[in-house]
Structure 1
Amino acid sequence: MAKVIEMERKVSKFGNSLGITMTEALKQIGLEAGDSVQVDVREKDGEIVIKRLNKVSLPSGISPDFLDTLNQVITEYDETLRGLKDR
């Protein structure tokens, strides 16, 4: 089972933004400056979950624009696609 690390931080002002520092926690999941993460806000639970995104190289012939469009279509038609899966 994974070790759970708890830490307490204060929210600080960084320019016009609010933020927290958690360098050691980010290093423990292999994140470095410039890496991309997924942030899930669970307002009902008062939680913010940060997940490391896997670095993936696109196959030749596939443009980032195509993936952006595909993501938009999947997001827009998510319920319909899930309904087709159950048929």
Structure 2
Amino acid sequence: MGKVNDMERKVTKFGNSLGITMTDALKQIGLEQGDTVQIDVNQASGEIVIKKATKVTLPEGISADFLDNLTEVISEYDETLKGLKDR
């Protein structure tokens, strides 16, 4: 795992939004303007985790609807599928 740098920033108002600047931290994980991120919020611990989103390109002939349906099935039968995996 890479070096973790502690950074302290103040929350600032940007138009109607609140935000922080963290250009150096974003550069360390290879993020640039226009990139998409995944944000996970843990209210219990007060942590916000920002990760570079991975882009998934569907193979030719696979529609987004299929992927949505597959996601629903996996969510619904998650425990069952995990049980089958461990057999």
When normalised by structure 1's length, the TM-score is 0.75
What is the letter of the counterpart of residue 31 of structure 1? L
Aligned to 1:37: 37
CA distance in 2, matches of 1:12, 1:77: 43
- Offset at residue 69 of structure 1 (A): 4.3
Counterpart secondary structure, 1:59: coil
Q: What aligned pairs does 1:2-21 form with structure 2 within 5 A after superposition?
A: 2-21=2-21
Q: Which runs of 5+ in 2 are unaligned?
A: none
Q: What aligned pairs does 1:7-86 form with structure 2 within 5 A after superposition?
A: 7-75=7-75, 78=78, 81-82=81-82
Counterpart secondary structure, 2:44: helix
CA distance in 2, matches of 1:51, 1:13: 23
CA distance in 2, matches of 1:15, 1:72: 37
What is the letter of the counterpart of residue 44 of structure 1? A
Larger Rg: 2
- Offset at residue 7 of structure 1 (A): 0.6
Which sits farther off after the overlay, 65-74 or 38-47?
Answer: 65-74
Structure 1 residues 54, 70: CA separation in 2 closer, same or farther (over 3 Å shift)? same
